[in-house]
């Protein structure tokens, strides 16, 4: 294939089902829909971890979480193992970043970039220490602000995303022409539709509150029970402060508004590509670091292995990418590493031979093998380690020391029937567990995660000191201080 520039746009917390091209009947995402129409949309894309920092480390390195040992939002990527950016820079390609990265520090070249513009990293190089505490999960009171604050307005995040879009357009017009000797790579990291669920009025008002869809399985008596999710609901107490249907609908309306706001910013980038003439030799990938439960089963935020949280949108367009295609092959953020190398025409490095990912260019053109992919979670609200395997039509979720979950996504795409303990599916559960153990020893990874987290707890003065300090709700953009609760 002809070497080409690559722009990888990564949003934050975008539930793939809340996208027009993924079949949502109400959401307005015209720019993403047009991108999908002229490219390929992946129906079975997943994060490698349904929380920000570990997912982004997997995306950077092409390695699973148990390999990077970036377990949670306090243990972030520090420049090793090597990222796709490092490999591209070694071969003379220019690599730029604009917006949220969520790495450990602000050394661009150490992080794998020639330049970082408006970067967001973990707070004070420390991050969310409260998420390290897992033996006895702490209650996170800041989570309860989600519903009461939801509505129309502006936030630090909406202002930040506008700046990211402006800087990206400026880079395409002013900087891209300076790097014509070799294809370049540009990473763009938006924060929408991540909470706070406060959407600019022009986008919020696209969606009448009384017409937005009601969350599936939201009523108390409908919510499935499992010791992992029961413990998570108590720790990440998002739903506790919701005082009725009106607040639920405001939260969903705001999320929809933020999604359309995100789409509008993506549109600004796509228009700049056309105006500069770069569209002919630039591939584009759009995805998100994870999804959002959005009230389904009484859960908000991320952190679960349900489709709303672990599933992500993934769209690719540009030279050599089939137009109007829908690809059912499972893919993950770890596939970003080989995709960057392939797209820019760089030479694969022998040191990366064992990476689990496959170039999306190979996948969309039918050159990839059948695959089993992995997501895992060891972070905030996780009383034990969880691992998700997508195998054929099945999603298998393995919990260390707890009953497994199994869903037949072909027959039950909304995961309303857990087959994990159904005797009729015992053989499928056993097969999936065997495949999981071929990739990772779940108990050993759980022990390693807890050991690394306890070392961080000790480094920061112990559990009591961390609990006394509290934590922030979300990482603030550059120039804004974190508020602790």
pLDDT at 38: 98
What is the span of the domain harbouring residue 46?
5-369
pLDDT at 194: 98
Distance CA 358, CA 368 (A): 7
Residue 422 lies in a domain: no
Residue 150 lies in a domain: yes
pLDDT digits (tens, 9 = 90+) for 86-128: 999 999 999 999 999 999 999 999 999 999 999 999 999 999 9
pLDDT at 32 over 90: yes
pLDDT at 10: 99
Identify the CA nearest to 15 among candidates 223, 302, 225. 302
pLDDT at 268: 98
pLDDT at 368 over 90: no
Number of other CB atoms surrounding residue 142 within 10 Å: 19
Averaged pLDDT, 17-23: 98
Q: How would residue 335 be classed by pLDDT, with cut points 50, 70 and 90?
A: very high
Distance CA 76, CA 56 (A): 9
> Strand pairing of 314-317 and 95-100?
unpaired
> What percent of the chain has a predicted confidence (pLDDT) above 70?
100
pLDDT at 1: 87
pLDDT at 344: 98
Residue 479 lies in a domain: no
pLDDT at 163: 98
Averaged pLDDT, 371-398: 96
Averaged pLDDT, 229-253: 97
Q: Supply the CATH number for residue 280's domain.
A: 3.40.720.10
Averaged pLDDT, 196-210: 98
pLDDT at 369: 77
Distance CA 373, CA 362 (A): 16
pLDDT at 22: 98
Averaged pLDDT, 134-149: 96
pLDDT at 239 over 80: yes
Q: Please list the residues that pair with 46 across neighbouring strands.
A: 311, 332
> What percent of the chain has a predicted confidence (pLDDT) above 90?
98
Distance CA 381, CA 475 (A): 17
Identify the CA nearest to 294 among candidates 54, 27, 10. 27
Give residue for tokens 């009171």: 141
pLDDT at 256: 99
pLDDT at 414 over 90: yes
Residue 59 lies in a domain: yes
Query: Over the chain, what HEC string results?
Result: CCCCEEEEEEEECCCCCCCHHHCCCCCCCHHHHHHHHCEEEECCEECCCCCHHHHHHHHHHCCCHHHHCCCCCCCCCCCCCCCHHHHHHHCCCCEEEEEECCCCCCCHHHHCCCEEEEEECCHHHCCCHHHHCCCCCCCCHHHHHHHHHCEECCCHHHHHHHHHHHHHHHHHHHHHHHCCCCCCEEEEEEEEECCCCEECHHHHCCCCHHHCCCCCCCCCCCCCCCHHHHHHHHHCCHHHHCCCHHHHHHHHHHHHHHHHHHHHHHHHHHHHHHHHCHHHHEEEEEEECCCCCCCHHHCCCCCCCCHHHHECCEEEECCCCCCCEEECCCEEHHHHHHHHHHHCCCCCCHHHCCCCCCCHHHHHCCCCCCCCEEEEECCCCCCCCEEEEEECCEEEEEECCCCCEEEECCCCCCCCCCCCCCHHHHHHHHHHHHHHHHHCCHHHHHHHHHHHHHHHHHHCCCHHHHHHHCCECCCCCCCCCCCEC
If phi over 0 gives left and psi between -120 and 50 gives alpha, with beta otherwise, what is residue 90? alpha
Give residue for tokens 């195998």: 391
Residue 421 lies in a domain: no
Identify the CA nearest to 220 among candidates 194, 239, 246. 239
Averaged pLDDT, 136-156: 97
Query: What total of structural domains would you count in the chain?
Result: 1
pLDDT digits (tens, 9 = 90+) for 36-92: 999 999 999 999 999 999 999 999 999 999 999 999 999 999 999 999 999 999 999
Its pTM stands at 0.98
Identify the CA nearest to 375 among candidates 350, 396, 354. 396
Q: How would residue 372 be classed by pLDDT, with cut points 50, 70 and 90?
A: confident
Residue 325 lies in a domain: yes
Averaged pLDDT, 312-328: 98
Residue 394 lies in a domain: no
Residue 409 lies in a domain: no
Averaged pLDDT, 274-290: 98
For residue 100, report the phi and psi dihedrals to the nearest 5 degrees. -70, 130
Q: What is the mean pLDDT of the chain?
A: 97
Averaged pLDDT, 256-266: 99
Q: Are 183 and 284 spatial neighbours (Cβ–Cβ below 8 Å)?
A: no
């Amino acid at each position: 294939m002809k070497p080409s520039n690559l722009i990888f746009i990564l949003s934050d917390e975008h539930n793939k089902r809340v996208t027009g091209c993924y079949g949502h009947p109400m959401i307005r995402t015209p720019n993403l829909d047009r991108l999908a129409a002229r490219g390929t949309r992946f129906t079975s894309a997943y994060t490698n971890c349904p929380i920000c920092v570990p997912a982004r480390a997997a995306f950077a390195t092409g390695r699973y979480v148990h390999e990077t040992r970036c377990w949670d939002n306090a243990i972030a990527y520090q420049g090793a193992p090597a990222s796709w950016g490092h490999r591209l820079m070694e071969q003379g390609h220019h690599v730029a970043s604009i917006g949220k990265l969520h790495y450990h520090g602000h050394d661009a070249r150490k992080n794998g970039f020639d330049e970082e513009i408006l970067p967001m990293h973990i707070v004070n190089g420390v991050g969310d220490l409260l998420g390290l505490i897992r033996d006895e999960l702490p209650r996170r009171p800041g989570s309860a602000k989600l519903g009461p604050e939801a509505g129309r307005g502006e936030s630090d995040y909406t202002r930040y995303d506008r700046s990211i879009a402006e800087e990206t357009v400026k880079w395409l017009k002013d900087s891209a022409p300076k790097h014509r000797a070799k294809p370049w790579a540009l990473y763009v990291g938006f924060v929408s539709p991540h909470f706070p669920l406060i959407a600019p009025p022009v986008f919020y008002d696209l969606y009448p509150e009384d017409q937005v869809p009601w969350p599936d399985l939201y009523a108390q008596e409908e919510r499935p029970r499992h010791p992992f999710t029961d413990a998570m609901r108590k720790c990440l107490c998002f739903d506790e402060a919701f005082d009725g249907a009106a607040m639920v609908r405001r939260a969903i309306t705001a999320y929809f508004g933020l999604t359309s706001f995100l789409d509008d910013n993506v549109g600004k980038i796509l228009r700049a590509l056309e105006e500069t003439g770069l569209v002919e030799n630039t591939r584009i990938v759009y995805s998100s670091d994870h999804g959002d439960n959005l009230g389904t089963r009484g859960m908000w935020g991320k952190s679960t292995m349900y489709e709303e949280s672990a599933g992500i949108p993934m769209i690719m367009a540009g030279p050599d990418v089939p137009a109007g295609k829908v690809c059912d092959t499972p893919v993950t953020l770890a596939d970003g590493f080989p995709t960057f190398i392939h797209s820019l025409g760089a030479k694969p490095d022998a040191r990366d031979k064992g990476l689990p990912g496959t170039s999306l260019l190979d996948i969309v053109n039918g050159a990839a093998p059948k695959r089993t992919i992995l997501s895992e979670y060891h972070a905030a609200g996780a009383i034990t380690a969880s691992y998700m395997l997508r195998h054929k039509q099945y999603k298998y979720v393995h919990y260390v020391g707890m009953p497994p979950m199994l869903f037949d996504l072909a027959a039950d795409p909304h995961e309303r029937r857990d087959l994990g303990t159904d005797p009729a599916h015992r053989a499928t559960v056993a097969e999936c567990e065997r495949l999981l153990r071929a990739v990772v020893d779940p108990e050993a990874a759980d022990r390693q995660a807890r050991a690394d987290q306890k070392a961080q707890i000790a480094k920061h003065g112990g559990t009591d000191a961390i609990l006394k300090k509290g934590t922030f709700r979300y990482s603030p953009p550059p120039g804004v201080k974190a508020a602790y609760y």
